[in-house]
Structure 1
Amino acid sequence: MIICHKKEELRHVLDGLRLEKQTLGFVPTMGALHEGHLSLIDKGLQENTKIVVSIFVNPTQFDNTTDLKKYPRTLENDIELLQSFSESIIVYAPTVEDIYGDAIISEVFDFDGLEHQMEGKFRKGHFNGVGTIVKRLFEIVKPDHAYFGEKDFQQLRIIQKLVEKHDLNVKVIGCDIYRADDGLAMSSRNQRLTKAHRKAAPFIYQTLKAAKVRFGTENANEVVQWVEEQFDTQNLLSLEYFTIADELSLKPIEIKQNTESYRAFIAVFAGDIRLIDNIALN
């Protein structure tokens, strides 16, 4: 397995692969790798000759400096996990300086309004940071295919819009949410949950599944009210938002149309750990 810490090292390795006309997949991560990441990597390995996995905690997408400081950094363990998984992985684990130089600032993007919904309302500047790092990584790696989990569905839609608006030559592939046996969506933040909060957290997905059933016979406002009432009964979980939105525009539903696809989005605090999830409704 090849490990690169500087973009020039990585470019040298990838130039050699391109001369051999090998296809290249890409999975960008912030480390603290888990089974969800491995499922993305596995799909990428099935569809490409080699795959690049980046490990980089991107400072510009955090609106909360405390969250940035507490975000788990487990590079040695991550590399060991990847080495045991496949020899066809190329790891890019850059420093902040290698990505940003002396100016750790975000570009400003227009994602046609996708950035103003849900997470955009609660995390100021978050999607400018996401757009900045993903665009720079795409420009460095130049992959044929890039793989993103649907747990961050809004992020997936924004990256698809980024590729479209900036005419980037990469195919973005969304992958199913990888869940623990009890339904909790896999996330690097899960390892920071207390035992009590981890035991309570599967309630999030249970509620999403029940909301999906209700959406078949009730209007969106009734479903939203029901979900809010369910979380009022929880002592260890605090609902930040629950929204039913159009899958393409991400705008909240107004009148249900049989020809449209909808998805329910949720953000919940388990103590000071923020968890997000979503589910397709139709």
Structure 2
Amino acid sequence: MNTLKKQNKTIGLIPTMGNLHYGHISLVLSAQKYVDIIIVSIFVNPIQFDNEHDFKKYPQTFEKDCEILKKYNVDIIFFPTIHEMYPFGIKNEILIEISNLSNIIEGQSRPGHFQGVATIICKLFNLVQPQYAFFGEKDYQQLLIIKTIVIELNYMIKIISIPTIRSRNGLALSSRNNHLNSSEIKKAPYLYKIIQNTAEKIIKSKKNNISEIIKISKLKLLEKGFFIDIFNVYDAEKLQFLSKKSKEAIIIASAWLGKTRLIDNKKFFIR
């Protein structure tokens, strides 16, 4: 990396867990506008999973991923082993935690998840030393945590976020979509449709009756066959509940459809 920097090459990092889809490719296309050298990391991070079963069943398609990245002229694929990333073992690792963001909303539903994310991102930043790093907005809370890491730990890295990439029916692209059966694939887009409908109602309400609006939306999701984990509206800057000072809101949702946990969100301005 030092050699590249001595040549005045700008480096961009795209952290992934592999099983790539067009959402990842959109990050590559964005990186091409900013940097000379694009590095894509592929590492299924064990310490951000809720349990070992989920970790082991995560789809790994390294050869196919390499073919895709080669097609889009990615310069370097970084594919470390678990031992290389966690030399003292995953149970003896130093953990990074952003206390004000790691244990709320998604972090409350998945204890330890964001510690795992923050830790691996710091490791990747230290190893690659990019000037830019690229992330999707589908994992919004994760994005805020990473931006906070950059500020709090004084990384000289510019974080570039990319809007969520969706299929034609509105479903957010995700590696987890591979676990949906044919019936669930048809139902899955309703999550975002109901999120959109909820946002429109909150905008029209001018912050009135929000709890009732959310309640009705949850009932609609239940009727469609979703099991709701998270569905609420927050201040988009702080991820606290809306206040009179809130100007931009975000609906964050996670829901189970069969055995698959889907996440999505929508930001919008309010008065």
TM over 0.5: yes
Q: Does 1:262 align with 2:249?
A: yes
1:214 equivalent in structure 2:
201
The counterpart of 2:219, out of the listed 229, 240, 255, is 229
2:192 equivalent in structure 1:
205
Equivalent residue of 1:53, what SS?
strand
In the alignment of these two chains, the number of paired residues is 265
Distance 1:97 1:108, change over 3 A: closer
Q: Does 1:89 align with 2:75?
A: yes
Q: CA deviation at 1:110?
A: 4.1
Q: CA deviation at 1:109?
A: 3.5
The counterpart of 1:78, out of the listed 59, 62, 65, is 65
Unaligned 5+ residue runs, structure 2? none
Q: CA deviation at 1:161?
A: 0.7
1:140 equivalent in structure 2:
127
1:35 equivalent in structure 2:
22
Equivalent residue of 1:148, what SS?
strand
The counterpart of 2:227, out of the listed 238, 249, 253, is 238
Normalised to the residue count of structure 2, the TM-score between the two structures is 0.94
- For 1:102, give the aligned amino acid: F
Give matches, 1:171-186, under 5 Å: 171-186=158-173
Equivalent residue of 1:113, what SS?
helix
2:9 equivalent in structure 1:
22
The counterpart of 1:103, out of the listed 73, 89, 94, is 89
Query: How large is the Cα RMSD of the aligned pairs?
Result: 1.3
2:183 equivalent in structure 1:
196
Q: CA deviation at 1:16?
A: 2.5
- For 2:148, give the aligned amino acid: K
Unaligned 5+ residue runs, structure 1? 1-13
- For 2:5, give the aligned amino acid: R
Is this contact kept in 2: 1:107–1:129, CA < 8 A?
Answer: no
Equivalent residue of 2:139, what SS?
helix
- For 2:113, give the aligned amino acid: H
Is this contact kept in 2: 1:118–1:243, CA < 8 A?
Answer: no
Q: Structure 2: how far apart are the matches of 1:181 and 1:97?
A: 40
Normalised to the residue count of structure 1, the TM-score between the two structures is 0.90
Q: CA deviation at 1:83?
A: 0.9
Is this contact kept in 2: 1:201–1:270, CA < 8 A?
Answer: yes
